[in-house]
């Protein structure tokens, strides 16, 4: 009876067999990852008008809590993807906070983007998602700037607290 329950638990997605280490390794359940992603999407909604500082505090609470709870699980690849999506959403939030094209051009130039490129992006008629993924915004609002601002990186925190078993 206990063996059957253990095998059901293993097949349920909480463990996988690592052929290199020749043993089972823990991983978070797919539903747990999806719930975490939903929470991050909720905190990074474009239409939620709170300051970036308050948003960063709330993100830190959720990220640090979730990663600390699941620190024994192997989830490096999943967290890398989640991290990329999170940073993209934050770039869109920052872009939207700049409001006008004049402010966007001025801010991009301050961040080291040539004025012609800044104008090209500011007057682009594509949506927020397209602009958030553009190379110009990536150069202007880089990962280095996010770290300076204190925005948490999920993968960095996981690598810091991960316990290998």
pLDDT at 84: 94
For the chain, the structural domain boundaries read 29-161
Residue 59: pLDDT over 50: yes
pLDDT at 3: 47
| 143, 87 Cβ separation under 8 angstroms | yes
Least confident among 5-9, 35-39, 70-74, 86-90: 5-9
Question: What's the CA gap between 76 and 155, in Å, rounded?
Answer: 7
Q: Taking phi first (over 0 means left), then psi (-120 to 50 degrees means alpha), and beta for anything else, what does residue 150 get? A: left
Q: Which helix (H) or strand (E) holds 42?
A: helix 30-43
Which phi and psi angles does 23 have, rounded to 5°? Answer: -160, 170
What's the whole-model pTM score? 0.85
Identify the three-state secondary structure at position 131.
Answer: helix
Closest CA to 69 of 43, 35, 44: 35
pLDDT digits (tens, 9 = 90+) for 82-132: 999 999 999 999 999 999 999 999 999 999 999 999 999 999 999 999 999
Question: What's the CA gap between 113 and 89, in Å, rounded?
Answer: 20
């Amino acid at each position: 009876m206990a063996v059957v329950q253990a095998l059901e638990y293993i097949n349920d997605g909480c463990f996988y067999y690592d052929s290199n280490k020749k043993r089972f390794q823990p991983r978070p359940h797919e539903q747990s990852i999806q719930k975490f992603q939903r929470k991050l999407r909720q905190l990074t909604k474009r239409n939620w008008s709170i300051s970036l500082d308050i948003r960063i505090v709330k993100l830190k609470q959720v990220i640090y809590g979730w990663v600390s709870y699941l620190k024994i699980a192997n989830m490096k690849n999943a967290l890398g993807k989640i991290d990329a999506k999170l940073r993209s959403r934050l770039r869109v939030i920052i872009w939207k906070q700049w409001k006008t094209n004049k402010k966007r051009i001025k801010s991009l130039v301050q961040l080291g983007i040539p004025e012609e490129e800044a104008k090209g992006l500011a007057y682009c008629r594509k949506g927020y998602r397209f602009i958030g993924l553009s190379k110009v915004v990536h150069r202007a609002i880089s990962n280095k700037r996010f770290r300076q601002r204190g925005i948490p990186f999920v993968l960095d925190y996981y690598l810091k607290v991960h316990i290998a078993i």
